[in-house]
Structure formats: structure tokens, C-alpha cells
């Protein structure tokens, strides 16, 4: 992955290939990494939409986010950030230390300037609706609100359920957040991405359309939201999950073969 990454090679007009024009498309990271980010000293209560959270403060930076330095794509990294119970807020929330580390590497989900400092408000990932399972469906209004709040909850929900409404709402948000222009030197369509959250939404849409978004079958997987490399893949490629799958397969094989062996074994006096 590079700072300007080719996402699409074609753009078409008309149907069945008629009137097709071809463009090289690249995305440009248009945000800077925070300098000396620190956790805010106070929990934030009653944010927009009645959400609770905390803040991360940092000085304005001048180093542009660089995907070459990312070990994992930002959407997979963000969706797998650990959550913990926060008694003060009465709900679960993304662990502050985890989001602080994410912000240092990928940048802020969005930025808001306060007295020449940036502040990142992080809402509770479980304060609107039940997103712990596919059965806990979100309403259209809840999805729209969570997307606007840059919430991990709606990303998890769309990733796990594939809910068409959620994907469409994310697409609408992304379309409103992007700026595009044609580079007169190269002729490429340049798409400017203003913050990490918009890029996260773009990557989710791309991988969902490709059928790659999945949840690891290992219930103990520390990072269960992963990207499939093949359609039949049910576990991520982490070593402990591969071992878990191998143990499960071995147990199943022995149960089936022991059952067959016991049935085939002649009974006493049958000879």
C-alpha cells in the first residue's frame, strides 16, 4: 500500500460496455498525524446524541499519514480495537489506550480544533442499540447517528451482518465526505480523503463488495474481524486460530472414526 493507492481502473458510462471511459484512480491521504497525543483528563458525558466518551488531545502536525508504515489496514485495525467496561459511564467503550495507539499510527478519526489543539471525542461502542450480534438490528436512524459519530459499533455491525441498509448508509456518508479531481499531469482521478474514518469507510465498502469481510469462527480470537483470502475461509490466519481449527478437525475425525470402528467390531459369540 502506498500514499496514493490505485483503487479502481475503470469508470463506465452507459450499459454493456457502451460509452466506456477508462481512468486510473488514486487516493490521497489529506490529513496529518497528531503530535504528542495524550488522553484527556476528564470523561465526557452527554455528547451529541446522548453518548458518553473521552477525548484525545494533540498538537497540530505536519507529517502526512503514510500507509507504507501501516502493518494492518486501518479498517481492520479499528474494528478490532478492544473494548472494556467503564463503570463511570455505565457501558462498554473502546479502551482509551488502544485508541491512543491507533491515533498515533493512523491519525485521528476526525479532528476538531479547540484553542489550537485537536480533540477527538470517542463515543461508547455499545450505547446505541445492541451490536453484539446480528440479531440486534439497528434502526436506520441509529446507523446514521453511529456513522456520524465515527463509531466502532456500526463498523462491527456492517462487517458482521452485511446489513444492506448499513452498507448503503456508510456509502452515502463516504460520498459526502470525498473530494475528487483529475490530475492534469497524469490524467488520473485523484480522490482526496480528509481523515482516517472516511478511509475506513471506503475500505469497508471495497472489501464488503468483494465478499472479503468475515468474522473468525474461533470464539477466543483476539482480533475476530478479518479479510478472507478465499470464499470458504472461516478462520483468520493467526497462529492460535489455525491451531484451534486443527484441534477441532482432529477431534471431529476421531469421533467419526471411533464410531465407525465400534460399529465394525464383531460382537462376542458372533463368530
63 — pLDDT class (breaks 50, 70, 90): very high
Q: How many angstroms separate the CA atoms of 173 and 171, rounded? A: 5
Number of domains into which the chain is organized: 2
Judge if 82 and 140 occupy the same domain.
yes
CA angle in degrees (0–180, nearest 5) for 160-165-171: 90
Q: Is 201 in the same domain as 233?
A: no
Query: What mean pLDDT comes out for the span 74-102?
Result: 82
> What pLDDT was estimated at residue 154?
87
- Asked whether residue 243 is assigned to any structural domain, the reply reads yes
Residue 84 is assigned to a structural domain of this protein: yes
Short-list 108, 106, 92, 125, CA closest to 57: 108
Grid cell, residue 160, equals: 458482521
Q: Are residues 151 and 221 in the same domain?
A: no
Residue 187 banded pLDDT, cuts 50, 70, 90: confident
Mean pLDDT of 15-26: 71
Percentage, residues of the chain above pLDDT 90: 30
Residue 182 lies inside a defined structural domain of this protein: no
Q: Is the predicted pLDDT of residue 4 greater than 50, yes or no? A: no
Are both 56 and 161 inside the same structural domain? yes
Question: Higher model confidence: residue 68 or residue 144?
Answer: 68
pLDDT value of residue 254: 67
Same domain for 148 and 47: yes
Same domain, yes or no: 100 and 227: no
Could you report the per-residue pLDDT of 192-217, keeping only the tens digit for each? 999 999 999 999 999 999 999 999 99
Least confident of 71-85, 146-160, 218-232: 146-160
How many degrees, rounded to 5, is the angle at CA 125 between CA 49 and CA 241?
Answer: 165
- Tell whether 226 and 205 lie within a shared domain: no
The pLDDT score that the predictor gives to residue 44 is 62
Structural domain for 142, as ranges: 31-177+195-210
Q: How many whole angstroms separate alpha carbon 8 and alpha carbon 65?
A: 21
The β-bridge partners of 25 are 189
From CA 135, how far away is CA 127, in angstroms rounded? 16
Q: What is the pLDDT of residues 115-172, one digit of tens each?
A: 555 655 554 443 333 444 444 577 788 788 778 777 888 899 999 999 999 999 999 9
Assess whether 223 and 204 both reside in one domain: no
Q: Tens of pLDDT along 227-266?
A: 999 999 999 988 789 888 888 877 776 676 765 555 555 6
In 40-185, beta strands by DSSP E: 53-59, 83-86, 91-94, 113-114, 117-123, 179-182
Work out the percent of the chain whose per-residue pLDDT is above 70. Answer: 69
* Domain contains 89: yes
Rounded to whole angstroms, the Cα distance separating 74 from 114 reads 26
The DSSP bridge partners found for residue 122 are: 54
Task: Give me 55's grid cell.
Answer: 477525548
Q: How confident is the model at residue 20, as a pLDDT? A: 73
Residues 86 and 129 in one domain: yes
**Shared-domain flag, residues 37 and 162:** yes
Is residue 139 domain-shared with residue 164, that is, in the same domain? yes
Amino acid at each position: 500500500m502506498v500514499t496514493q493507492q490505485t483503487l479502481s481502473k475503470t469508470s463506465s458510462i452507459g450499459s454493456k460496455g457502451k460509452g466506456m471511459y477508462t481512468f486510473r484512480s488514486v487516493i490521497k491521504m489529506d490529513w496529518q498525524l497528531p503530535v504528542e497525543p495524550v488522553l484527556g483528563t476528564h470523561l465526557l458525558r452527554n455528547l451529541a446524541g446522548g453518548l458518553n466518551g473521552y477525548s484525545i488531545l494533540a498538537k497540530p502536525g505536519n507529517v502526512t499519514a503514510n500507509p507504507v508504515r501501516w502493518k494492518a489496514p486501518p479498517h481492520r485495525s479499528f474494528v478490532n480495537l478492544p473494548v472494556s467496561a467503564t463503570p463511570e459511564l455505565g457501558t462498554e467503550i473502546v479502551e482509551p489506550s488502544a485508541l491512543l495507539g491507533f491515533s498515533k499510527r493512523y491519525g485521528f478519526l476526525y479532528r476538531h480544533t479547540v484553542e489550537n489543539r485537536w480533540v477527538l471525542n470517542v463515543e461508547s461502542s455499545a450505547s446505541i442499540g445492541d451490536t453484539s450480534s446480528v440479531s440486534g438490528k439497528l434502526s436506520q436512524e441509529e446507523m446514521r447517528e453511529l456513522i456520524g459519530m465515527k463509531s466502532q459499533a456500526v463498523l462491527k455491525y456492517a462487517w458482521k451482518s452485511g446489513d444492506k441498509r448499513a452498507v448503503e448508509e456508510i456509502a452515502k456518508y463516504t460520498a459526502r465526505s470525498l473530494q475528487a479531481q483529475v490530475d492534469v499531469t497524469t490524467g488520473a482521478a485523484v480522490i482526496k480523503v480528509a481523515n482516517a474514518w472516511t478511509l475506513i469507510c471506503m475500505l469497508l465498502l471495497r472489501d464488503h463488495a468483494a465478499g472479503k469481510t468475515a468474522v473468525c469462527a474461533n470464539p477466543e480470537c483476539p482480533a475476530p474481524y478479518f479479510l478472507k483470502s478465499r470464499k470458504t475461509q472461516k478462520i483468520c490466519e493467526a497462529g492460535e486460530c489455525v491451531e484451534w481449527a486443527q484441534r477441532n478437525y482432529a477431534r471431529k475425525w476421531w469421533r467419526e472414526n471411533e464410531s465407525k470402528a465400534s460399529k465394525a467390531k464383531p460382537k462376542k459369540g458372533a463368530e
